[in-house]
């Protein structure tokens, strides 16, 4: 029993460390026209237009912004995957974290991965729920 408790405590420490390291992640992707940075949740934190964007077609700039954001998010997902594997190995909970990032930020070659990924629970939360879980904006906080 003591060994099981120690193992559980070590696992909890690894996940606390993983959480702390993941909150500091960010990724940036750039093109000739734009640069987009995202935070650890994949939310854009910085959008920049280069001098070459001046006078460019707004639809082209918009498409470049979206493409760069998706590339930054896929880069973030790759960072998370490496970090999870380094911190906790191929643990079931770690794979669930990675799976969430794969579903949220699929790359161009992820269609097969997505077909086999476990579905997220998208059921609506109860209106009368006061649980702290539902009040969080990010699972990282």
Q: Write the CATH number for 95.
A: 3.30.1310
CA distance 87 to 105: 21
- Provide the number of structural domains found in the chain: 1
Q: Is residue 3 part of a domain?
A: no
Kindly report the pTM of this predicted structure.
Answer: 0.72
Contacts of 113 (CB under 8 A, 6+ apart): 102, 106
| pLDDT tens-digit map of 22-40 | 999 999 999 999 999 999 9
Per the structure, the complete domain to which residue 31 belongs is given by 19-120
- Dihedral sign from CA coordinates of 102, 105, 109, 115: positive
Q: Is residue 4 part of a domain?
A: no
Q: Is residue 7 part of a domain?
A: no
Q: Is residue 1 part of a domain?
A: no
> Would you place residue 118 in the very low, low, confident or very high pLDDT band (cuts 50, 70, 90)?
very low
Q: Is residue 135 part of a domain?
A: no
| pLDDT tens-digit map of 75-103 | 999 999 999 999 888 888 899 999 999 99
């Amino acid at each position: 029993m003591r060994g099981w408790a120690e193992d559980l405590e070590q696992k909890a420490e690894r996940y606390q460390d993983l959480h702390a390291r993941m909150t500091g992640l960010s990724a940036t992707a750039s093109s000739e026209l734009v640069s987009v940075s995202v935070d650890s949740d994949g939310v854009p934190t910085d959008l920049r237009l280069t001098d070459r964007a001046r006078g460019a077609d707004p639809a082209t700039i918009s498409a470049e912004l979206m493409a760069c954001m998706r590339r930054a998010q896929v880069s973030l997902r790759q960072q998370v995957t490496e970090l999870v594997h380094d911190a906790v190995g191929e643990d079931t909970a770690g794979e669930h974290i990675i799976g969430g990032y794969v579903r949220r930020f699929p790359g161009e070659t992820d269609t097969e991965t997505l077909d086999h990924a476990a579905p997220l629970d998208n059921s609506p939360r109860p209106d009368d729920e006061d649980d702290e879980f539902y009040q969080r904006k990010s699972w990282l906080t």
